[in-house]
Structure 1
Amino acid sequence: MQYLLPHLLERSAERHPNRTAVRFMGRGWSYGELEARSNRLARLLRRSGVRPGDRVGLWLHKSLESVQAVYGIMKAGGIYVPLDPQAPVERVAYIMRDCGVQVVIVDAAHAELTSALFGAGAPLRVVVSITAEIEWEHGGGVPCSVPGPQAIDAEEDGPVDPGTIETDLAYILYTSGSTGTPKGVMITHRTCLAFVHWAFHTFRLGPDDRATSMAPLHFDLSTFDLYATAMAGATVVIVPEGLAALPVKLADLWQDERITITYMVPSILSLLVQYGRLECHDLASLRLILFAGEVFPVKYLRRLVRAVPHAEYYNLYGPTETNVCTYYKVTPQDVAEDAPAALPIGRACENTQVFVLDGSGKRVETPGTEGELWVRGPTVAQGYWGDPEKTARSFLQNPLQDRYAELVYRTGDMVKLAEDGTTLLFIGRRDHMVKSRGYRIELGDIEAVLYRHPLVKEAAVVAIPDDFVGNRLQAFVVSFEQSQLPPAELAAFCRQHLPPYMVPEKFHFLSALPRTSTGKTDRPALLALLGSSAPPRRAEGDGGGMKSDPRASD
């Protein structure tokens, strides 16, 4: 019986031990090898003191070993906490403090940075270097062991009893928060498996499929890549992080690896269309193109459909708190020259229900009427780690029934019903959350960092709609007493405290921020100063994607 995520790997290892489970840059591991390697890591983690329910950090780039680490943590009974490999030490340390990460798995690229985590207050006691032996000394007398690959390989490779059940947490994904600090979304094994079962059956995955894995582990798109393929006994091909900037080489990977399924954010697919020279590639194997995380401009989707006409296309929607909760199959009418500017987000996934409430809390059932989207079903997360107040604001008793306790998720996304009365059309958000490069970003998160600069008096960040990345971020700043504050200094300050995708591209200096009659920052006025009256484009879904905006092919 498969009730834990590692059971998917175990079953495929039993059925297809020699079939390739994962590939990366020409290397590959079979299901049998991945099973054995993850078991060894699980035993080492147990020997290092990891117990059921412990949070274990992952601070490493995607590779074969990152997949080993994910399964190894869960097999040890732990909860994996993926950390953005490009995030500053301060942000990583905050997450570690927030959920009590005492054990972290790193690769060689991050091993040398771990000593800085202690200075930032991370409560570490074990650092596992999974890709290379390291010699590392920490300061301050903090006890910390540093086992490496040799210690992992010395463990037995037999199965490990994790001591967990399906309602235990499998992982925690940190997303941008409205108060300037990340929030950890808690996902159980059962919650993720509900999504995996839906994806497996809906997209008819089989052992002959070869799926790309481009999304970083801290982005919920990665759960399809890892676990739906494992359920099918298929092969997952990890895309090197740099290929997002090299559309031709990414198209080469589709061709050379005979990819059948790809799941990416639209900004990357748009770059592929424009600079990937798709017409020069043999993409006959590609049968399914899934996209999520932001709006896919129809003009680029149309070109992609023309380049790969035999594939099926699906628009997937859902915040991290629900994974995918609605989906829409693209039709020829959607990419016609006179098609609407945006795709629908479709209908609810099977075994999930969505409903729309208007401002008075009444259910919206009339086409064209706007309201807020709510989600119920097994894929709804368990709330935010260590923050019951924030959890209570978003995970509420189902307002449509009061007969028994049932928590549903209030998305904050505004939608309306299409004329057919069932298909949903995405409108925007009711808060200041935007999407850029596939990442969900709270503008207040960036503003909070800007306010920490000693010379910044006021700050506001706006998002400018952009077909390539969803939104481009620009900041307006008021300095104390007209102090000289170079934009480069502000950008460097932001890079110390924020991931690259959250650093504003431009900084504008004002004597004062415009205000509304109620004293709030007048964001439309700021957009008008930039010559744009359009509100920020709100994107569909959640998570991460591109780290940069390259427009030239290799």
Structure 2
Amino acid sequence: MTDLLHQLLRESAARTPHATAVIDDAGVTTYAELDQRANQVAHLLRSRGVRPGDRVGLHLPRTADALVGVYGVLAAGAAYVPLPLGVPASRLRTIVIDAGIRIILAAHDDTTQVRADLGGPDSPLTDVVAPRAAAELSGEPPQIPVEPDDLAYVLYTSGSTGVPKGVMISHRNAMSFVDWAAREFCVTGEDRLANHAPLHFDLSVFDVFAAAWAGAAVVPVPPQAAAFPAVLADFVRTQQITVWYSVPSALNLLVSRSGLRAGDLPALRLVLFAGEVYPLPQLRSALETLPDACFYNLYGPTETNVCTYYRVPRPFPADSAALPIGIPLPGIDLCAETDDGRLAGVGETGELCVRGTTVMRGYLGDPARTAQALRPVVDGPGIPTYHTGDLVTRDSDGHWHFLGRRDSQIKTRGYRVELGEVERALALHPAVVECAVVAVPDEEFGHLIAAFVVLREEVATARLTAHCRTVLPSYMVPWRMRAVTALPRTTTDKIDYRLLKADAEESAHAGHR
């Protein structure tokens, strides 16, 4: 196993130079072409002053150019920092300043605007260049020493405070996951991996690097396909996608809103999902619609990439109340700490703690936050361990189960409530496509619970409330139930709970109880 991410591309280019590496709207890029273009970009970055350990911004859509940028930055000995498209320039400036980004790779038509938006007196940015500007440079790999523990990329995540924090991942961290995943899921040169996740979302690490590990093809999902389920289904069908990896909500929309019938995607052999809880009714529907695919539930915060996995059984047990997050990857140790400061036993609830080779180096430029997140566990060996903030329990078979976030537990009417439990109850109603539950502070009750639902058919919200009363205690039944055509999304395609909470708080303040 190679120790470096960009070495995966070089090895595939040497082994199968004419194999397809990327398929996008511009056509087919072979492994030899991708490797040559990445090396050219590496030489370009070096000529612009980039040195090992520097951070280089990527402001590129999901195309072959994005992969050229990724591998070019790594070949230059630097670390790439994806800058999400379509977000306020103020947020991107925060990232540029925090990461000390002096150069950004951007699409040819965007370089002037990116420089205007993200440069300025308080910004370290000095240069914005398109990958295609390197077309005349050498395609030979630059001879730059890179070590496995060197920084490979920085992913910015808001966390619970909304302040961006840069998660530092080394080559060793990422390769520990990529090598395991490519082997576990039997990725070969015959596969076509859909790239649905943007580069700033850690799901993209599998798409990009597991493909290079095997010499498989990456097929970026065009924005116009991602936005319309029927178009997306046609994309998966016509591109003969064999491996799909996304958040459950995206997969759910593909299955429920596209008109797919059972067996319509026979080439799709593997479906991976992560990032959110997959409601069981929707999962069962996906299993029926995609009978030829093997499903896996992957779990892990950005700080750990994937640290547990669970193969969804077929047939899925009818009496299952929840989907496990499964067992740890090789080389990963898990435990859970209880509220009273001890290690949780079987069946007990605690905060999941992760130790092993996939765990991040820390938060860029923030040693205090790093020390808080990476600290030894109670009765542990004294090794820094990532405290996830996720509440879990372990069953007698050794499978871990996700219960919810510590910060999603609220008090209402004197009772402690896990908002995820309310979501799971709502998802049981046959008319619910997806749902989200938030809490609003209230002087009288502590918190009020508000629910937002997307429905497949018109149903009075009173009926949904009545349904909740049959499966939840009265104090957990939402005070407000609102039907919406779609739930707002973050740039990683997860449900945007902050926007929903702001909406609910506005209604509460207006007196709509």
- Using structure 2 for the length normalisation, give the TM-score: 0.82
Instruction: Check the 8 A contact 2:336/2:351 in 1, yes or no.
Output: yes
Aligned residue in 1 for 2:456: none
1:253 is aligned to 2:221 = no
Tell me, in whole angstroms, the C-alpha distance in 2 between the residues paired with 1:204 and 1:28: 23
SS of the aligned residue for 2:155 comes to strand
Which segments of 5 or more consecutive residues in structure 2 lack a partner in the other structure? 411-418, 428-432, 453-460, 466-474, 480-489, 498-513
Instruction: Check the 8 A contact 1:263/1:289 in 2, yes or no.
Output: yes
Q: Which moved more, 1:268-277 or 1:31-40?
A: 268-277
Superposed CA offset, 1:452-503 (max 9, x none)? xxxxxxxxxx9994855663679x7xxxxxxxxxxxxxxxxxxxxxxxxxxx
1:118 is aligned to 2:119 = yes
Tell me, in whole angstroms, the C-alpha distance in 1 between the residues paired with 2:383 and 2:443: 41
Instruction: Check the 8 A contact 2:309/2:327 in 1, yes or no.
Output: yes
Shift of 1:123: 1.5
Aligned residue in 1 for 2:404: 428
Tell me, in whole angstroms, the C-alpha distance in 1 between the residues paired with 2:494 and 2:156: 17
Tell me, in whole angstroms, the C-alpha distance in 1 between the residues paired with 2:300 and 2:316: 20
Aligned residue in 1 for 2:500: none
1:216 is aligned to 2:198 = yes
Shift of 1:283: 1.6
Shift of 1:95: 0.5
- 311 and 414 in structure 1: CA distance in 2 versus 1, 3 angstrom threshold: same
- 400 and 548 in structure 1: CA distance in 2 versus 1, 3 angstrom threshold: closer
Aligned residue in 1 for 2:365: 386
Q: Percent identity?
A: 41
SS of the aligned residue for 1:10 comes to helix
How does 1:505-524 map onto structure 2 within 5 Å?
A: 514-515=442-443, 524=447
Tell me, in whole angstroms, the C-alpha distance in 1 between the residues paired with 2:394 and 2:362: 28
Instruction: Check the 8 A contact 1:396/1:407 in 2, yes or no.
Output: yes
1:324 is aligned to 2:272 = no
1:189 is aligned to 2:171 = yes
1:172 is aligned to 2:165 = no
- 470 and 96 in structure 1: CA distance in 2 versus 1, 3 angstrom threshold: farther
Aligned residue in 2 for 1:264: 246
Aligned residue in 1 for 2:448: 525
Instruction: Check the 8 A contact 2:342/2:379 in 1, yes or no.
Output: no
Tell me, in whole angstroms, the C-alpha distance in 1 between the residues paired with 2:230 and 2:204: 23
Aligned residue in 2 for 1:14: 14
1:292 is aligned to 2:274 = yes
SS of the aligned residue for 1:296 comes to coil
Instruction: Check the 8 A contact 1:12/1:230 in 2, yes or no.
Output: yes
Tell me, in whole angstroms, the C-alpha distance in 1 between the residues paired with 2:52 and 2:351: 38
Which segments of 5 or more consecutive residues in structure 1 lack a partner in the other structure? 131-148, 435-461, 477-512, 517-521, 537-541, 550-554
Aligned residue in 2 for 1:231: 213
Aligned residue in 1 for 2:383: 406
SS of the aligned residue for 1:431 comes to helix
How does 1:127-206 map onto structure 2 within 5 Å?
A: 127-130=128-131, 149=132, 151-206=133-188
1:544 is aligned to 2:509 = no
- 534 and 408 in structure 1: CA distance in 2 versus 1, 3 angstrom threshold: farther
Aligned residue in 1 for 2:394: 417
Tell me, in whole angstroms, the C-alpha distance in 2 between the residues paired with 1:60 and 1:473: 33
1:63 is aligned to 2:42 = no
Instruction: Check the 8 A contact 1:244/1:546 in 2, yes or no.
Output: no
Aligned residue in 1 for 2:39: 39
Task: Choose between structure 1 and 2 for higher RCO, CA contacts under 8 A separated by at least 6 residues.
Answer: 1
Q: Which amino acid aligns with 2:223?
A: E
Shift of 1:365: 2.4
Q: Which moved more, 1:347-356 or 1:316-325?
A: 347-356
Instruction: Check the 8 A contact 2:40/2:72 in 1, yes or no.
Output: yes
How many equivalent residue pairs?
450
Instruction: Check the 8 A contact 2:247/2:274 in 1, yes or no.
Output: yes
- 92 and 414 in structure 1: CA distance in 2 versus 1, 3 angstrom threshold: same
- 113 and 2 in structure 1: CA distance in 2 versus 1, 3 angstrom threshold: same
Tell me, in whole angstroms, the C-alpha distance in 2 between the residues paired with 1:75 and 1:470: 43
Shift of 1:514: 2.7
Q: Which moved more, 1:294-303 or 1:103-112?
A: 103-112
Aligned residue in 1 for 2:436: 471
1:339 is aligned to 2:320 = yes
Shift of 1:339: 3.2
- 329 and 280 in structure 1: CA distance in 2 versus 1, 3 angstrom threshold: closer
Superposed CA offset, 1:157-189 (max 9, x none)? 001123321100000000013443100000000
Shift of 1:524: 2.1
Aligned residue in 2 for 1:278: 260
SS of the aligned residue for 1:524 comes to strand
Shift of 1:4: 1.0
1:28 is aligned to 2:28 = yes
Tell me, in whole angstroms, the C-alpha distance in 2 between the residues paired with 1:109 and 1:60: 11
- Using structure 1 for the length normalisation, give the TM-score: 0.76
- 294 and 177 in structure 1: CA distance in 2 versus 1, 3 angstrom threshold: closer
- 309 and 128 in structure 1: CA distance in 2 versus 1, 3 angstrom threshold: same
Aligned residue in 1 for 2:413: none
